[in-house]
Chains A and B, each alone.
Chain A
């Protein structure tokens, strides 16, 4: 800091300013002397002239102070533009680092008070987990405990998640969808988007099509497998739906909207999403109603490990998978050209 200051003092501009000020100061002192101490010569001078002199001196002093002010202002402005900006930006960086350091310190300090990872006496290790592990299989009929948890014990959360996804799809639809005009003809914007899309996308790319022919059935089959086996093995509606949608997206990329539109249109998206979410809501409403009132649940749990077991978990997985697959696919289509 001090080095910078001395640099500034040494610059020709600063020296010039200082010289100007000193010169003025000397003059000022002389004038001050002349004004305050009239000296011996004054009686000889005409009093009116003396008054004029005094006025002129005062005027000069005023002008000088104004000029000095302006000089100081200019100086300050120059400093703010050249040095001040750099100093302030450095100050910002310093303060950001300081703030980050303080936050990191306090977070780490808090972490040291937490129990050891995986210790037996952590607060999270309570009777809820014990119950899930001990009676989860008997109560839900799902060998995959995670599926039993998210689609049976915590099914209400999963309903909320599916709804959030559906709402997100609706928001994207509102934002990105380009409608047909009143007569049902494509608008100018839609035509422009389509030609734009066609330019950027590879049209009838042989490599992509060959890969898609090989991969799409495998992806779809794997996704369906993960959805249907959600209650037996790792996976479930969400991940399976994402895999199915990635297969659909690959097909769409390789063969274009026209071919993909033959089996997946906007209407199908609407109906599939509506039916899946409606089924989910109805099925869970049934089990909530039964569970809350202590009524007997009429859905058989089946033999654990069999494909048709776990009560409502498999149908719910299918519903979630359908919603996720449709939503992801329509996200992609909307992002690409604003419609299916």
Chain B
């Protein structure tokens, strides 16, 4: 079985499992008291955020390794991971406002986590725009690795600055999401969805990586 085929099967499996998660979420997990059914979107949103962060982390790691080992496969992996990460970022950035509108009463707020994810999205976009603009594969790999590493180091600084900004400007935020202690059923559902999204990430990246392999031979 080729890599692409294996990736497809893993993705398919993950999607079936995701459907299972939602059966569990809708049927067997209690409805959150204050948020109502809107809260159900969290089982997509939070794990998508996790996968996006995972993507960026692995892009950074692959970039460091690439600069040391100069192996074209690492570059291909980083490219695949970034592309998949962008998709997860999109999922996160669309499900977030959908949830926030009924719950917070606004589509968007400049909360630390939100700003961080938005910047993550911009990082992914920048990374990809750069890749698209370099034709020489060796140069492209080097450049992408440099940006990948810088991006990874940047994230904590963005988080810190946005966090500092908010704490220095205390303001009444209606229904601010405090770290909720989840009832066990919700927690299990959430953890399961984390697993499923990680699997989705793996499946997507395998397919994208296989595609990159085809492209490089041509």
Whether A and B are associated in the same complex: the answer reads: no
**Residues of A participating in the B interface, judged by any CB pair closer than 8 Å:** none
**Residues of B participating in the A interface, judged by any CB pair closer than 8 Å:** none
